Amino acid sequence: MALLEILQVGDDRLREVSQSVSSFDLNLTNLLNDMKETLKNAKGAGLAAPQVGVLKRIFVVDVEEGYFEFINPIILGTSGSQYGAEGCLSVKGKWGDVKRPRKVTIKAQDRFGKWFKIVAKDFFAKAICHEYDHLEGILYIDMADNIRDEDESK
């Protein structure tokens, strides 16, 4: 396993629309293992493949509910809303307030290609929406209010 470099805002690869995964092979396993290690090392809530320069529809999330891998995710529905602070490993040292759904129903494939469905709420839902946006080339700063330096948010 290896720690991957996390691209920072300004890198054009963060603005691309990522492509579907079609091969559930050793390359994918290695990428997922490296993304997991990179996320844990960075103490983040989520990491999307384009953030490590791989333009594939993959993201991983590490939240209270557990650690999850989403491949070729499809958001089936959203409801409610929440508004609050968000940060991003690709926008170091900043926070901003974003409106997100309170509840998200999503289906995706796991690392073996098997489809699963999850209903996520609150912070988990926020993390999923944030990471999903990365696959579309969208960063939270595109829609955030009150973008501020990290030390001002304490």
Q: Which residues are catalytic?
A: 131
The C-alpha atoms of residue 87 and residue 144 are separated, in whole angstroms, by 10
Out of 31, 52, 60, 88, the only residue in the binding site for Co ion (CB under 5 A) is 88
Tell me how far, at minimum, the Cβ of 88 lies from Co ion, in Å: 3
> Does 128 interact with Co ion (rule: CB under 5 A)?
no
| Per-position x/- string for 46-85, each x denoting binding to Co ion as judged by CB under 5 A, each - no binding | ----------------------------------------
The C-alpha atoms of residue 53 and residue 47 are separated, in whole angstroms, by 11
The C-alpha atoms of residue 6 and residue 91 are separated, in whole angstroms, by 10
Q: Which stretch binds Co ion (CB under 5 A): 16-24, 54-62, 87-95, 142-150?
A: 87-95
> Does 45 interact with Co ion (rule: CB under 5 A)?
no
How far is CA 26 from each of CA 30, 35, 38, 45, 110, rounded to the nearest angstrom? 6, 14, 18, 25, 14
- Our CB check for Co ion shows the closer of 6 and 71 to be 6
